[in-house]
Structure 1
Amino acid sequence: MFRLITCFLYISGFLIYSFPQLARIKKLSHLPVNQLDKIAHEYPKRFSKTFLKLTGSDVRVEGLEYIPEGPVVFIANHESDFDIPVLLMTIDKPFGFVSKIEVKKVPILSSWLDAINCILIDRKNREQALNSMQEGVKLLKEGHSLVIFPEGKRSMGGPVLPFKVGGIRLAQDARVPIVPIAIKGTADVFEKNRRLIKPAHIKVTICHHIDPNVHCHKDYKELTEDIRRIIIANRDARNIAS
């Protein structure tokens, strides 16, 4: 219970005291994309590192060398609410992410979602969802990167769920590399603990990227299954500390 209260207070403090940083980012909108994205991610990255320390968790990452230069679409499995801070902590390349539109209702957090170029999708409104995906293509072509969780919901540490094809089509339409990422252990922090926070061993495995010259000539449904198999193989590899 102590860790849960500590983490909650830290999140609240982060949101409250992040106003000056948000104001600074808005004033720097004239900067080149790469430079602005890096500045916008400094504060969330620091938050994520401290936040994961408060949980007492050990986070390891492998394969950072497989991330290419320029905009990419990261495709990751989705175990837990902790996946985003774990990725913010471990990946140096700035990114936005695709999420459900309901998070827009959270004060201050919604401003940060805008600052790091997130795409929010209303799953109940097909037209809005299509417009959001087109906005995602536009962001990628402008030089931003995106993280997509194609399962559509958390697996809670269970088997990786079937992938939706939207993220793959996004990368194909924008003609950017796809970087599969396998996440293991984030559900052990919270979801498996009856809403309490406990230390866990977390591993992030970044797989070889898929060049657009390769994936753009593949059927998107077949490619989606190929990427899912890559992620499952790396997620379930027996190389995580116990």
Structure 2
Amino acid sequence: MMYAVLHRTVPPLARAVWRPEVTGLHHVPRTGGVLLASNHLSFADSVVIPVVVPRRVVFLAKSDYFTGRGVRGALTRAWFTGLGMLPVDRDDSRAALASLDTALEVLRRGEAFGIYPEGTRSRDGRLYRGRTGVAHLALTAGVPVVPVGLRGTQDLQPVGARLPRLARVSVAFGPPITVAGRFDGVAPGRARRQLTDEVVDAIAALSGQERAPGYNDRPVEA
């Protein structure tokens, strides 16, 4: 109920301020479980996609955003709730496995789940090799994957910026990549790798990014 009320306010407000350019939105199914697999340039990516899609898109967000106190905490919680985000404890060593379980629950309820195959934000603007979690979810839940190409979100909220800025942002959705019957008889590991590479190739075509040869690993803490 709270989501329904807030979602009628938060996305229209954000669209009015940012005015993102959106193409291919008709590729997003209006109903049923679906994965929206996107490149990842900024923290703001998880805000931009739910803002432009007419149905709820669930992303995972740090649990800290839901536990703040006072007026600021309440506004932050309302903002993320209005965008359909779910809290996850990233300091928990079991968070990665728990997030996959959460994603499967969302998909099996017939909802849309947003995911970044690269795993983490690109720090140099290149598109990195995809991790196979996206394929695991699609194959396990039997849902299509809609590739998403974002441009300009790194300027919307640069690294270190606490608040979003005004910037030209574009969001392109590609045709759904279906999985039903396509990988029958293929070894599970190979199927996941093939599907993941196909998804990332589709994202690259939409985002126009230079490809990086390896995985995008998180920086080592000093």
Q: Considering the TM-score relative to the shorter chain, is it more than 0.5?
A: yes
1:177 match: 144
* CA RMSD, 1 decimal: 3.1
Query: How far, CA to CA, are the matches of 1:168 and 1:63 in structure 2?
Result: 22
2:23 match: 62
Partner of residue 230 from structure 1, selected from 202, 209, 212:
202
Runs of 5+ consecutive residues of structure 1 not aligned to the other structure: 1-24, 27-36, 53-57, 238-242
TM-score (ref. length: structure 2): 0.73
Q: 1:189 to 1:111 in 2, by over 3 A?
A: closer
The aligned amino acid for 2:192 is Y
Partner of residue 88 from structure 1, selected from 50, 72, 81:
50
Partner of residue 146 from structure 1, selected from 113, 117, 125:
113
* SS of equivalent to 2:149: strand
* Aligned: 1:125 with 2:86: no
Of 93-102 and 135-144, deviating more is: 93-102
Instruction: Name the structure, 1 or 2, with higher relative contact order (CA <8 Å, separation 6+).
Output: 2
The aligned amino acid for 2:35 is V
Query: How far, CA to CA, are the matches of 1:162 and 1:128 in structure 2?
Result: 22
Query: How far, CA to CA, are the matches of 2:60 and 2:160 in structure 1?
Result: 26
2:156 match: 189
Runs of 5+ consecutive residues of structure 2 not aligned to the other structure: 210-222
1:3 match: none
Contact 2:57/2:113 (<8 A) preserved: yes
TM-score (ref. length: structure 1): 0.68
Contact 1:181/1:204 (<8 A) preserved: yes
Contact 1:80/1:157 (<8 A) preserved: no
Contact 2:117/2:200 (<8 A) preserved: no
Contact 1:118/1:146 (<8 A) preserved: no
Contact 1:179/1:206 (<8 A) preserved: yes
1:162 match: 129
Higher helix residue share: 1
